[in-house]
Structure 1
């Protein structure tokens, strides 16, 4: 490893550390005031059964409730019935009180403790539609009892679907209608809200949807789950944004512009609502309670729906309840795939167009995700092999010039500026670019950073075992410690230890052809130890990937070293020197560095002369 390569690796290491600390770190302390839990009027009942919403003898309470609702008073009492829309992916339970979603179960997934994965229920996730009447009343749909239809079979976009309609008859020719539609093999639930003939009753004020979602703990590592849970939103003008996932303080945003969709995004799952048109404005917030290990965060959205959309039959929306799978998300709506954290800028493109297609291809033929990771390493190493070869040749050139470099150091003992200037002159004379060893490593950085986002967010690895790891999407626990080591934790990740050992082996291999001496060589061995602390609580899949990558790289370099003739490299450098003897160095980056170092050396010599 030459000096510039070592510097390059050091810079990469520092950037990764900063990235992991500020972008991958979970909340660690208590937030602001706790969010009070709202009570629900509806009571859950078995599917298709009926339960009295109020005691039969509570006539006074019913009368007061009816009086408060005015022209909607006749809808204040009734029975809550639960009906179900179901396909291969979802089981959606709907309640006739409020005509609302009461529970959503993702049928093909389990929680970390192998229970049914309930993404949405009436206790932890509450939606409230409210609107204003011309008489000055505020009406909540949850206060009204709707009459459900039977489950209807229909075709939506050429696919079989099922639908349930909830109707609240306000007066002859006046009704509130809610329609839920679920297609086969879909995570999307169509929703339509229509106020029929209500122009004379409803005020010209927005219908407001308030959604409070107390995210349940679905994963073993709640700290990682919190770090990847937040509220995302997308404006009608095409701008994606989100609340901070890692903030330890309450987060809130007030959006005056129209919003297309809002998503309550967890590590691996998302619940969202998407408007066919748009919400006229929105208020979003996020809080969490550090001591509560059953709840991840509380996300809250307040969305305004133009009343004319609801009166005119244009109140069309889509709920999404599903996994953060790229192939699933990209088919929902514009930029909805950004609910899967793939990194920003070039890192996201690397994941979308390089990593994910290869991973999906391998997944079609191989059942073991550990084997898939190994093959993914080989695929990436094959793509990067030209850069690996170029980097090694650069280090080999530095090695054959080591006697001349050592002579320069001895000649200018202690004078770093003169040493560097003369060393650069030697490189120029021999046709060696000192940056050629560093640049290939920098070009590999997009893939390095892409992996930091791919593995912690890849739902394909969720609950997938390999060797001693029970779940490649979180850290493997080879042994538990009776104490906690600062910055390391209270567990030992064997994949992280293997990655550390292989990195040290790789560093030792590089140092065999390196000109680096002294502190730089020490730091090259220190960095793997630092990464052992940083990555101990990262997903096992990531550590295993780096372990395999190091072994393959070590093998690549051994193979290149076997076929590279250092004597021939030395002869090529001498031929270049002879061919260009007496010629001025060509311009360019290297020439500018050489001139700058020469000027600095001259200034230092003049300074010392003046000091005498």
Structure 2
């Protein structure tokens, strides 16, 4: 390298150093440059992150709350927390936002899929208490409450108490809940003080609930689910259980409203009354809920206070009876002519047996035996009546040969023959008729008995639903897509009993065949009913069959014939009774009118 080259390199290096020192310092970043840079550096990951909500300054937020809520503005901000009341039966969770119920769990029960039984939760239900103010209707769920827990006693039983307090600029609102040990009832007291902006001394309650599915058989669950209500005048009513949609505006004040499912009920009960009530229920198109229900009620404030209570629990007749007037009607005991059997006999008998036996199949067998023993005198009389009709069959056959072409004369001569022989044609039927209330009562008791829920016996995993042994790939009209074994056994036993009964009575004609048609009909009807009901009828048939076989061993047809002959001689010159005379006159009149036509 010569001297000139060396001098040139030195000068070039000097120029670079000077340029970098004076001209290469970083420039200030403009708004446009900053925006551009941010957009370039933005990535999918950064975009996916939630952006923070810009909070208004406290002064501006307070001003907005004041404009929207008036004196309640101080309660319009806060933090939401969950707090619970719990006893051995139920756990109820509340939110400090509104001081409202958010979740109800029945601790002693599980769903059909063996999961915790949540009767009500925040996703499926909402309860909203609204007050009328100068700012319009305001929901208590918009306000934040301060909770405090304490203990107390209710009817000499220990109880937990939870009080929610919301302060206003001039007063306060308090919601006090009380849950006693061993109870499904949650009582509530609402107390207001110093509220200047209230324009109406009543609280509007809006309750909406998509009733959660608790049982496997959704069809039967929907059939047994509907809104019940009871007026202050003592009238019980309900929305249609069969209609997909039903609603009603109740004209009279209401004492209680219940969202009744097959085995569980959520109920709202007034200490005095709800002054206005609107109810609605809808069957949803999906299977996520059983039915969608809603109730809107008005609860009056008296001296700034109102009291009501909730029932969250099972449809157990004895438990419901202690809740409030006629609340036990949430368990369907049947029509008036059979309900007395369930209310006063079967329910009490069932609970007595529960104390000694844990297997409900055995309990059902014992109920059959006890009822059959109680009704045995009627069964015996029925058998004797049928035996008498069997013994006099030759005389009846002679009348048929002689007067077969004249029905009226035939009936007259039959009545005359019965009177002479001391035989009543209804003597064999009347005792059976007197037993019918017990048979029909079971038709209501077993499908509504929560005691049988998820209780197994033999091959039936759940006595409260059908015991399917075969699932069919198709559906048979009026029968279903499954085969219930207890129903089949009941049908076979009824056919065997009918055959035995026909031999006892020497039945002929249509009556003989009718006995075989009825069991087959019941097979279709009962196939989808609870296994407990079919099992009860099966055991009942077998016990009845055994009773009649036993009676047959001690009843001699020859002795009955001797008694009939003695009656024939005794009544040979006996005058016709007034009833028999009137009956013959009526038959003659009917025959005369028939000939005229």
Instruction: Please report the TM-score for the alignment, with normalisation by the length of structure 1.
Output: 0.86
> Shift of the alpha carbon at 1:387?
1.2
Question: Is 2:113 aligned against 1:122?
Answer: no
Kept after mapping to 2: 8 A contact 1:274/1:319: yes
> In the alignment, what sits opposite 1:196?
193
> In the alignment, what sits opposite 1:346?
337
Q: How does 1:19-38 map to 2 (within 5 A)?
A: none
> In the alignment, what sits opposite 1:161?
159
Kept after mapping to 2: 8 A contact 1:421/1:601: no
Kept after mapping to 2: 8 A contact 1:418/1:601: no
Q: How does 1:215-230 map to 2 (within 5 A)?
A: 215-230=211-226
Equivalents in 2 of 1:550, 1:347: separation in Å?
20
> Shift of the alpha carbon at 1:414?
3.8
| 1:441 alignment partner, SS class | helix
Which of 296, 309, 320 matches 1:302?
296
- Give ranges in structure 1 of 5+ residues lacking alignment: 1-53
Task: Give the direction of change, closer, same or farther, for the CA distance of 1:112–1:432 in structure 2 (3 Å limit).
Answer: same
Kept after mapping to 1: 8 A contact 2:259/2:266: yes
> In the alignment, what sits opposite 1:265?
260
Which of 509, 520, 529 matches 1:518?
509
Kept after mapping to 1: 8 A contact 2:131/2:200: no
Work out which structure has the larger RCO, using CA pairs closer than 8 Å and 6 or more positions apart in sequence: 1
Equivalents in 1 of 2:327, 2:425: separation in Å?
44
> In the alignment, what sits opposite 1:282?
277
> In the alignment, what sits opposite 1:132?
132
> In the alignment, what sits opposite 2:183?
186
> In the alignment, what sits opposite 1:9?
none
Equivalents in 1 of 2:347, 2:233: separation in Å?
28
Task: Give the direction of change, closer, same or farther, for the CA distance of 1:524–1:592 in structure 2 (3 Å limit).
Answer: farther
Which of 567, 582, 587 matches 1:597?
587
Q: How does 1:38-437 map to 2 (within 5 A)?
A: 57-59=54-56, 64=64, 67-133=67-133, 135-149=134-148, 151-172=149-170, 174-198=171-195, 200-248=196-244, 250-289=245-284, 291-307=285-301, 309=302, 311-313=303-305, 315-437=306-428
Per-residue CA deviation, residues 276-300 of structure 1 (Å, 9 max, x unaligned), is: 11111211111112x3222111111
Equivalents in 1 of 2:181, 2:397: separation in Å?
73
Per-residue CA deviation, residues 117-163 of structure 1 (Å, 9 max, x unaligned), is: 00011111211111111x241101111111111x2122222111111
Equivalents in 2 of 1:581, 1:274: separation in Å?
70
Task: Give the direction of change, closer, same or farther, for the CA distance of 1:425–1:595 in structure 2 (3 Å limit).
Answer: farther
Q: How does 1:600-611 map to 2 (within 5 A)?
A: 600-601=590-591
| 2:540 alignment partner, SS class | helix
> Shift of the alpha carbon at 1:55?
6.8
> Shift of the alpha carbon at 1:266?
0.6
Instruction: Please report the TM-score for the alignment, with normalisation by the length of structure 2.
Output: 0.88
Aligned CA RMSD, in angstroms, stands at: 1.9
Equivalents in 1 of 2:317, 2:591: separation in Å?
56
Question: Is 2:573 aligned against 1:582?
Answer: yes
> In the alignment, what sits opposite 2:531?
540
> In the alignment, what sits opposite 2:491?
500
Per-residue CA deviation, residues 564-603 of structure 1 (Å, 9 max, x unaligned), is: 1111111111111211212212223x55334423444566
> Shift of the alpha carbon at 1:56?
5.7
Per-residue CA deviation, residues 533-554 of structure 1 (Å, 9 max, x unaligned), is: 0100000000000000000000
| 1:341 alignment partner, SS class | coil
> Shift of the alpha carbon at 1:226?
1.0
Task: Give the direction of change, closer, same or farther, for the CA distance of 1:231–1:282 in structure 2 (3 Å limit).
Answer: same
Kept after mapping to 2: 8 A contact 1:425/1:594: no
> Shift of the alpha carbon at 1:519?
2.5
Kept after mapping to 1: 8 A contact 2:229/2:258: yes
Equivalents in 1 of 2:581, 2:533: separation in Å?
41
- Give ranges in structure 2 of 5+ residues lacking alignment: 1-50
> Shift of the alpha carbon at 1:205?
4.8
Q: How does 1:416-495 map to 2 (within 5 A)?
A: 416-495=407-486
Equivalents in 2 of 1:369, 1:236: separation in Å?
38
Per-residue CA deviation, residues 494-522 of structure 1 (Å, 9 max, x unaligned), is: 00000000000110110002242122211
Q: State the number of aligned residues.
A: 544
Per-residue CA deviation, residues 50-90 of structure 1 (Å, 9 max, x unaligned), is: xxxx9762439956565322322232222110001111001
Kept after mapping to 2: 8 A contact 1:66/1:76: no
> Shift of the alpha carbon at 1:306?
1.4
Kept after mapping to 1: 8 A contact 2:463/2:532: yes
> In the alignment, what sits opposite 1:24?
none
Task: Give the direction of change, closer, same or farther, for the CA distance of 1:414–1:524 in structure 2 (3 Å limit).
Answer: farther
Kept after mapping to 1: 8 A contact 2:69/2:135: no
> Shift of the alpha carbon at 1:318?
1.3
Equivalents in 2 of 1:190, 1:88: separation in Å?
17
Task: Give the direction of change, closer, same or farther, for the CA distance of 1:591–1:450 in structure 2 (3 Å limit).
Answer: farther
Kept after mapping to 1: 8 A contact 2:74/2:167: no
